[in-house]
A and B are shown apart, each in its own frame.
Chain A
Amino acid sequence: MREIAVVAFAQTRHSAVDEGLGEAELILPVLDEVRERSGLRKFGFTCSGSCDYLAGAPFSFVSALDALGAWPPISESHVEMDAAWALYEAWVRLQHGDVDSALIYGFGKSSQGDLREIMTLQLDPYYLSPLGLDQVSYAALQASASGADRAELDEVVRRSRAAGRDNPYALDLPDPSGDGYEVEPLRPYDVAPITDGAAAVVLAAGDLAREVCERPAWITGIAHRIDPHYLGMRDLARSASAAEAARAAGVGKGSLDVAELHVQFSHEERILRRALEIPDSTVVNPSGGPLAANPVMATGLIRIGEAAARIMDGAANRTLGHATSGPCLQHNLVTVMEA
């Protein structure tokens, strides 16, 4: 495989409330930032991830093209998935060998709707969606199956929120407290917060990566897998697709300094640590992770960006970025990066 690296990453200072910015306004600053950091103005390929249901209108990615200034016309594609999959598509495109750089971005304003209800629409429309099984309810089913106890879940949230308070891009959320349940066994703080935000990444190949970045985060493995949709078809305590993606990406081939996991509910950290075989010595979600900022559709890309940033800033030598999609960790993408 051709050598490809993350050479620049930028994200918005994520917000828990609608700050009145349109999608294009949200994206423009992070696009400018990665252009400045990489010194690149033009890219061989551009790919983005977003979800129309967050905007409540079709083609929410069309207005993003205006922010991009796609002129002259650019080679560009879009996934209606977390932008981590846009990064995967761009990595594949760079394998062709005829272009050397790619711009990837993702954005989401979940403050505009009821995310918990909206996510119900990703279920089988005939047999599951009409049951009204919302996102937190099916996550709670998995939380029960995971075997995680309350102290463990509280510790995941406490650690994530504390890290988030130290991260200027994440939300400032207090230590977890309170006894009520959102949906038993999940308390309100076990659920990732509603967040608006965007992120962008630049990928570059070989010599170009070395030229534009002092310490590129080389992608040594990237793979994704999907599980069956129906919750009854899966052992919810485990994530077979995450485990298989981790094997394909070669997670176990070396030590791991940092892992950024797409944990939208506190119990998912336990399932993912086990599936990805993350050693206890690895620092998990030093950014605070999605429990401290969850700009849906950019959250997975931010995991890859944060894991890459730890290599680019010299803090780590080998890191992992994980992204997920679908109900109860149905679809998982794993990226391994090295200095």
Chain B
Amino acid sequence: MGNRCAVIGVGQTHYTTKRRDVSIAGLVREAAVRALEDAGLTWKDIDAVVIGKAPDLFEGVMMPEAYLADALGAAGKPMMRVHTAGSVGGSTALVGASLIQGGVHDRVLVVAFEKQSESNATWALSTHLPFSASLVVGAGGYFAPHIREYMRRSGAPDHIGTLVAVKDRLNALKNPYAHLRIPQISREMVESTPMLWEPIRYLETCPSSDGACAMVLSSEKAVTGTPAWVLGTAMRSEPIFRAGRDTVNPQGGKDCAADVYRQAGIADPRRDIDVAEVYVPFSWYEPMWLENLGFAAEGEGWKLTESGATALDGDIPWNASGGVLSSNPIGASGLIRFAEAALQVRGMAGEHQVDGARRALGHAYGGGAQFFAMWMVGSDKP
């Protein structure tokens, strides 16, 4: 894993449907400035910048690192652009951490964003390469059959997805940056919303958000303020079209979790991890990932959700921030998971702080549930 690395600054924008007051450059700069302020640093303290976002087709800006170099104070410095589909926010943090772990830099600014009000994600995701026509539209159309297969295999009752949709929106009420804030959220409200892709209802899916998230990562000797120590990092990818690939419980996710747990000394994730920020863009992905990440045995994830264990007052809170279901600037969503995990172990998560959180998991996935990025962060130096 190389040299020690810590998160010393986190910055987020308030996630919302349309940020008409800022350009893309203004949006990323806002998050970056907040991360620098949190770390007590200025632009000149940064050695390199790593930026991530989902496909360039979203906003129609190709290789946006060229345009954003100025706004992110990168001129004269090294700058990288990461793109690993929906997991990109997580991968961006990992590429930034790698620069520190590899001993190349002491302080790296990582930033991820999406400005969905200037894009059309569903359209951009429905364009396919020649000769590979797809019958699905957008991500919901792609993932709904996987969810139905999960329900068939596990025998989970229909209301589990509703429970997650309510729980994450209740958490969002405690997070000032969250996009969807619905005080009267209830099972009845979720169940009354239109069915988009059976079994995913409108309120069981993530919103389209504008937003950016940034972190300042540091080597051990350059730490300022309150660090969240990186205890383990891992990426895994698998082919989308491999025959026999289990798309409901992907091997890549299991392997990635096993790798990051081994580095962090996690034997039993449910017992050893205090809080997890996991990429759940559709409600049913909570029980599915509970199993994939080893928090529950296969077929048992939904029981953990149903028992309330993943609620803010449960024994293993998932998505205390409100998660992707409450804020989804796509390319940033993974980085927000990683950043929220860091905020928890720094004790700086505010109203959605999990008391005494010392070890937290950040998770992101993307593509056809085939790209995975994860890290474990902790309050104690490894």
Contact = CB atoms under 8 A, between A and B. Distances in A.
Interface in A127-166: 129
A175 interface: no
Contacts of B131: 22
A62 B238 CA distance: 9
B249 interface: no
A227 interface: yes
Contacts, number: 196
B54 to A, nearest CB: 8
Contact of A98 (B2, B65, B237, B370): B2
B236 A325 contact: no
Contact of A77 (B68, B79, B91): B91
Contacts of B370: 62, 65
Interface stretch (B122-130, B168-176, B284-292, B294-302): B122-130
A78 B76 CA distance: 23
Given A59-B85, A66-B239, A124 B67 contact: yes
Given A56-B127, A96-B98, A97-B2, A81 B239 contact: no
A70 B23 CA distance: 38
Given A52-B57, A98-B1, A73 B367 contact: no
B55 A73 contact: no
Contacts of B247: none
What is the predominant secondary structure among interface residues of chain A facing chain B? Answer: mixed
Contact of B63 (A51, A89, A92): A51
Interface of A: 1, 22-23, 46, 51-53, 55-63, 65-66, 68-81, 85, 88-89, 92-98, 118-119, 121-126, 129, 223-230, 233, 240-241, 244, 325-327, 330-331
Contact of A81 (B24, B63, B77, B94): B63
A209 to B, nearest CB: 17
B133 to A, nearest CB: 12
A58 B62 contact: no
A89 B57 contact: no
Q: Which of A74, A75, A229 has the most CB of B within 10 A?
A: A229
A78 B82 CA distance: 6
Given A1-B103, A56-B127, A59-B55, A79 B239 contact: no
A184 B64 CA distance: 28
A175 B66 CA distance: 34
B237 A65 contact: yes
Contact of A73 (B63, B68, B238, B368): B238
B78 interface: yes
Contacts of A225: 76-78
Given A58-B127, A89-B95, A95-B103, A65 B238 contact: yes
Contacts of A125: 24, 59-61, 67
A202 to B, nearest CB: 18
Top 4 A-B pairs, shortest CB-CB distance: A95-B102, A96-B2, A58-B55, A73-B252
Interface string B100-142: 0111100000000000000000001101110110000000000
Nearest to B85: A59
A170 B60 CA distance: 32
B251 interface: yes
Given A58-B124, A62-B240, A80-B83, 9 more contacts: A46-B237, A78-B82, A79-B83, A81-B80, A95-B104, A122-B63, A125-B67, A226-B78, A244-B76
A228 B69 contact: yes
A226 B79 contact: yes
Contact of A70 (B68, B84, B95, B239): B239
A81 B64 CA distance: 10
Interface residues of B, number: 69
A89 B98 contact: yes
B80 A85 contact: yes
Given A52-B57, A96-B101, A121-B62, A77 B23 contact: no
B234 interface: yes
A81 B1 CA distance: 25
B235 interface: yes
A71 B238 CA distance: 6
A60 B240 CA distance: 12
A53 B255 CA distance: 32
A26 B165 CA distance: 44
A22 B129 contact: yes
Q: Which of B23, B55, B66, B240 has the most CB of A within 10 A?
A: B66
A124 B25 CA distance: 9
Contacts of B62: 51, 53, 118-119, 121-122
Nearest to B91: A77
A331 B67 CA distance: 11
Contact of A95 (B2, B63, B91): B2
A73 B69 contact: no
Contacts of A23: 129
B75 A226 contact: yes
Nearest to A1: B103
